[in-house]
């Protein structure tokens, strides 16, 4: 075994005795390490990890998505308690915001309007009068001659309900809130306007053209 060729296992194989073959064989087919012992637990941990994440994400969306309703701004509101969410929004706060957004430019911060152009809301008989008329004015607009607090106006009040071509498309709650606000601001002391009252008039009148003051005066 002094020459290198003798160290080649293929060559030495032929010279192996039965006993050495058997013992080699035993080593080769003998007990192997447990298959599972060599199995990596990592993919299993990942599987559990990702399942947990997906479960958490599902629960999170279910809890906080607000059913993807654009009207729900409060991300902590539970979808099934929609009634409480509406109740939490103070109509005066919402109404004030809507007024500042859409009415103030014409009717002014003090509710006195602009003499001869835009009539006042403060102390107005329309604002403090029957809600049946007031809601219609904001839903469908008002056009043509109108008398407010003894003064004559002849302009056009924009349409706030959903009307094709109208820039505004206010929900019943927004209209109810802004009217509730103007009915108790600047010394006005009239009762609130409910979302239901606005919805009822919207359903009854559908999409119609702007009112004239004469048409409105026929409604009690
Ligand atoms: C572009 C100006 C303009 C905007 C914006 C506007 N109005 Fe008017 N509004 C008028 C004019 C003009 C009249 C009178 C219409 C007429 O002469 O026929 C009027 C009339 C009214 C009336 C009946 C008359 C009165 O003075 O009581 C009410 C109520 C009213 N507006 C409420 C509102 C509310 C609430 C908003 C906001 C949601 C609003 N208006 C936004 C111009 C406007």
In a domain? residue 54 = yes
Based on the domain organization, do 102 and 203 belong to the same domain? yes
In a domain? residue 142 = yes
Residue 165 scores a pLDDT above 70: no
Q: How many domains does the chain have?
A: 2
Range of the domain at 79: 44-85
How remote is the CA of residue 19 from the centroid of ligand 1, in Å? 112
Mutate to test the pocket of ligand 1, among 98, 102, 106 (most ligand atoms within 8 A of CB): 106
In a domain? residue 49 = yes
Q: Of 188, 199, 167, which is closest to residue 86 (Cα–Cα)?
A: 199
> Does the beta carbon of 85 lie inside 6 Å of ligand 1?
no
Residue with CA at minimum distance from ligand 1 atom 34 = 103
Based on the domain organization, do 139 and 171 belong to the same domain? yes
> Does the beta carbon of 170 lie inside 6 Å of ligand 1?
no
CB 140 within 8 A of CB 206: no
d(Cα 123, Cα 127) in Å, to the nearest integer? 8
Q: How far apart, in Å, are the Cα atoms of 186 and each of 53, 80, 108, 127, 161?
A: 54, 38, 11, 12, 25
Q: State the sign of the Cα–Cα–Cα–Cα dihedral 181, 184, 188, 192.
A: positive
Q: Of 135, 153, 136, which is closest to residue 191 (Cα–Cα)?
A: 135
For the ranges 86-95, 104-113, 174-183, the lowest mean pLDDT is seen at 86-95
* The pLDDT of residue 68: 76
Residue with CA at minimum distance from ligand 1 atom 6 = 103
pLDDT confidence bin for 81, thresholds 50/70/90:
low
> Does the beta carbon of 107 lie inside 6 Å of ligand 1?
yes
In a domain? residue 169 = yes
pLDDT confidence bin for 151, thresholds 50/70/90:
very high
Based on the domain organization, do 51 and 65 belong to the same domain? yes
How remote is the CA of residue 118 from the centroid of ligand 1, in Å? 7
How remote is the CA of residue 89 from the centroid of ligand 1, in Å? 25
Residue 56 scores a pLDDT above 50: yes
In a domain? residue 70 = yes
CB 157 within 8 A of CB 212: no
Among 28, 58, 85, the domain boundary falls at 85
pLDDT confidence bin for 200, thresholds 50/70/90:
very high
Half-sphere exposure of 71 (CA within 13 A, CB side): 11
Q: Of 114, 117, 131, 116, which is closest to residue 182 (Cα–Cα)?
A: 131
d(Cα 176, Cα 196) in Å, to the nearest integer? 9
């Amino acid at each position: 075994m002094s020459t290198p060729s003798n160290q080649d296992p293929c060559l030495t194989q032929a010279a192996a005795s039965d006993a050495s073959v058997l013992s080699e064989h035993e080593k080769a087919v003998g007990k192997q390490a447990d298959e599972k012992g060599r199995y990596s637990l990592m993919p299993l941990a990942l599987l559990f990890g990702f399942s947990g994440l997906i479960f958490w994400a599902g629960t999170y969306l279910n809890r906080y998505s607000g059913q993807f309703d654009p009207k729900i701004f409060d991300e902590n509101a539970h979808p099934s308690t929609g009634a409480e969410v509406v109740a939490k929004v103070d109509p005066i706060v919402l109404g004030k915001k809507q007024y500042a957004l859409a009415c103030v430019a014409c009717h002014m911060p003090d509710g006195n309007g602009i003499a001869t152009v835009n009539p006042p809301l403060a102390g107005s008989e329309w604002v403090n009068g029957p809600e049946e008329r007031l809601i219609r004015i904001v839903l469908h607009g008002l056009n043509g001659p109108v008398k407010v607090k003894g003064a004559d106006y002849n302009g056009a009040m924009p349409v706030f309900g959903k009307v094709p071509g109208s820039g505004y498309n206010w929900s019943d709650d927004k209209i109810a809130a802004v009217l509730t606000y103007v009915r108790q601001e600047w010394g006005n002391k009239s009762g609130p306007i409910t979302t239901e009252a606005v919805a009822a008039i919207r359903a009854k009148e559908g999409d119609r053209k702007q009112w004239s003051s004469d048409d409105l005066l026929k409604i009690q």
